[in-house]
């Protein structure tokens, strides 16, 4: 299982005069860094370059530890030049000589337009600081799906490898940044969604005060749902991924937060509920809640919640509503509703304006693909009108993405894929449909 753990106590400094986005971890300001894998994180107050830095502790078991960067580093990278770069300082610390070799990347970029990786088979110098710098030049990257230009137009996820030893280690990172400032568009139509279609893919979500987080393949509005285990005595919180953050001004008064939810429990009393969703940013903070009867409806049964994005429905805690929506930097979702043991399931979490053209998940068992297995082409059902597709491997990584032209006979060429098991995700006006195939 891949559990995303929230990283706290980091500093974001936006050097707008120099066109940079830069983190040096010298303050206790909270920003949205996450880990993917089995590592845990802390603020190291003495060993940075200089001062404070991020420390990643690996327990030598489980998945590869990856750093997931916050909203400020993603977005439209089209304005970057060939001399711009992503940079950071790295110091892996261990006495274990068992280096991991053959890993496919040190840095990975993902987005609707494709994915790309840099520095495959990277082997660091142990126990010393080293500077990592990768230019935003296609010659420095391997495009693994889509194309370079489309990827840079909308970078939605950045992974940075944070594990290098098969045994025990900890890794220090400092001065992480871009030499340019990505542009960020406004949230709008269609809705941005987490549908948890694939097993072992948490879609960039992070969690606080939960005992477990995974994708359950037997629950949800098919296929699958996020499953959260209860940790006793503390309030479980989900942190929405970077793709949901940014400028919400365009959906003020017209947009909604939608989710399907079920709470499995034998408890009879509802617990403290300070909010259902809390948003915050430079302009302030606000919360919205649900009524007791809405929580009761979710007890041991699936129900749907729709939360309007309009000031009258929210409690503004600090700042003002208009300024807050201009830059939503953090989204917290409560994941605990009863006083007792419970398991919370969430599916189809969406934010934006659903005007009838937005994306929604189809309540179908799956998408029939043929031939399966295949060695070259996958054919889609004739009734499908979706034009955007993603091919996702068993790690949850998007390895191919693109647009299916109407003239190509409803087929996708998968000859570039390595042999293995994959999921094909179609996205269109009818919703999202997923089918699985073997290459």
| Range with top average pLDDT, 301-305, 423-427, 430-434 | 301-305
pLDDT at position 410: 76
Annotate 188-218 with b (16+ C-beta within 10 A) or e (fewer). Answer: bbbbbbbbbbbeebbbbbbbbebeebbbbee
Give the range among 4-8, 144-148, 292-296 with minimum mean pLDDT: 4-8
Highest mean pLDDT among 90-94, 346-350, 385-389, 394-398: 90-94
Query: What structural domains and CATH numbers belong to the chain?
Result: 3-178 (2.60.120), 192-352 (2.60.120.430), 377-438 (2.60.40)
Instruction: Tell me what the mean pLDDT of segment 8-30 comes to.
Output: 58
pTM here is 0.66
Where residue 200 falls among pLDDT bands split at 50, 70, 90? low
Check residue 189 and give its pLDDT: 57
Distance, in Å, from the CA atom of 201 to the CA atom of 70, rounded to the nearest integer, reads 18
24-33, 166-175, 375-384: lowest mean pLDDT where? 24-33
Q: What is the mean pLDDT of residues 385-399?
A: 65
Contact criterion met (CB below 8 Å) for 41 and 55: yes
Whether the per-residue pLDDT at 197 is higher than 90: the answer is no
Which pLDDT score, from 0 to 100, does residue 315 have?
96
User: Quick check: 12 pLDDT over 60?
Assistant: no
Average pLDDT for 167-173: 90
Question: Among 67-76, 249-258, 316-325, 352-361, which range has the highest average pLDDT?
Answer: 316-325
pLDDT at 355: 46
Report the DSSP pairing between strands 284-288 and 303-308.
Answer: unpaired
Percent of the residues in the chain that have a pLDDT greater than 70, as a whole number: 82
Residue 349: strand, helix, or coil? strand
pLDDT digits 0-9 by tens, 143-155: 998 999 999 998 9
Please report the pLDDT score of residue 301 as a whole number. 87
Tokens 């891949």 -> residue: 2
Q: By CB neighbour count within 10 A (0-12 exposed, 13-18 middle, 19+ buried), where does 420 fall?
A: exposed
Closest CA to 351 of 375, 325, 376, 374: 325
**91 vs 121, higher pLDDT:** 91
Catalogue the E-assigned strands of 275-397: 277-281, 284-288, 303-308, 315-319, 328-334, 342-352, 377-379, 388-392
Q: Within a 13 Å sphere around the CA of 229, how many CA atoms are in the beta-carbon half?
A: 9
Q: Report which secondary-structure segment, H or E, holds 422.
A: strand 421-428
Summarize pLDDT for 25-71 with one digit per residue, the tens.
988 764 667 776 556 778 999 999 999 999 888 765 556 788 888 88
pLDDT of residue 16: 35
The C-alpha atoms of residue 198 and residue 346 are separated, in whole angstroms, by 14
Considering the chain, what is the average pLDDT of its residues?
Answer: 82
């Amino acid at each position: 299982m891949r559990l995303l753990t929230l990283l706290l106590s980091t500093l974001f400094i936006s050097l707008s005069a120099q066109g940079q986005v830069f983190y040096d971890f010298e303050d206790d300001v909270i920003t949205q860094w996450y880990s993917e894998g089995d590592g845990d994180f802390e603020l190291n107050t003495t060993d940075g370059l200089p001062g404070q830095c991020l420390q990643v502790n690996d327990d030598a078991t489980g998945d590869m530890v990856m750093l997931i960067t916050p909203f400020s580093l993603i977005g439209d990278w089209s304005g970057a030049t060939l001399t711009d770069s992503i940079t950071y300082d790295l110091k892996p610390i261990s006495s274990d000589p068992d280096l991991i070799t053959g890993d496919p990347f040190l840095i990975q970029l993902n987005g609707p337009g494709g994915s790309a990786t840099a520095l495959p088979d990277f082997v660091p110098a142990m126990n010393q600081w080293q500077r990592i710098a990768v230019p935003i030049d296609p010659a420095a990257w391997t495009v693994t799906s889509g194309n370079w230009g489309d990827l840079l137009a909308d970078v939605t996820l950045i992974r940075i490898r944070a594990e290098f030893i098969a045994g025990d280690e900890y890794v220090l990172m400092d001065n992480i940044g871009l030499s340019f400032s990505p542009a960020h568009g406004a949230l709008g139509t269609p809705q941005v969604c987490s549908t948890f279609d694939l097993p072992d893919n948490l879609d960039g979500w992070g969690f606080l005060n939960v005992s477990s987080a995974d994708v359950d393949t037997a629950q949800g509005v098919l296929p699958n749902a996020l499953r959260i285990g209860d940790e006793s005595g503390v309030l479980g919180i989900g942190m929405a991924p970077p793709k949901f953050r940014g400028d919400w001004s365009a959906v003020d008064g017209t947009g909604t937060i939608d989710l399907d939810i079920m709470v499995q429990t034998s408890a009879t009393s509802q617990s403290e509920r300070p909010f259902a969703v809390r948003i915050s940013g430079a302009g302030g903070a606000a919360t919205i809640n649900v009524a007791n009867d809405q929580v009761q409806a979710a007890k041991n049964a699936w129900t749907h919640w729709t939360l309007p994005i309009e000031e009258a429905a929210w409690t503004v805690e600090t700042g003002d509503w208009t300024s807050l929506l201009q830059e939503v930097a953090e989204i917290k979702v409560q994941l605990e509703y009863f006083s007792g043991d419970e398991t919370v399931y969430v599916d189809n979490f969406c934010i934006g304006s659903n005007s009838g053209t937005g994306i929604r998940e189809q309540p179908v068992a799956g998408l029939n693909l043929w031939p399966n297995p295949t060695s070259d082409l996958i054919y889609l059902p004739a009734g499908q009108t979706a034009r955007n597709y993603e091919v996702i491997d068993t790690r949850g990584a998007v390895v191919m993405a693109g647009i299916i032209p109407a003239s190509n006979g409803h087929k996708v060429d998968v000859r570039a894929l390595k042999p293995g098991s994959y999921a094909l995700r179609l996205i269109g006006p009818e919703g999202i449909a997923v089918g699985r195939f073997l290459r």
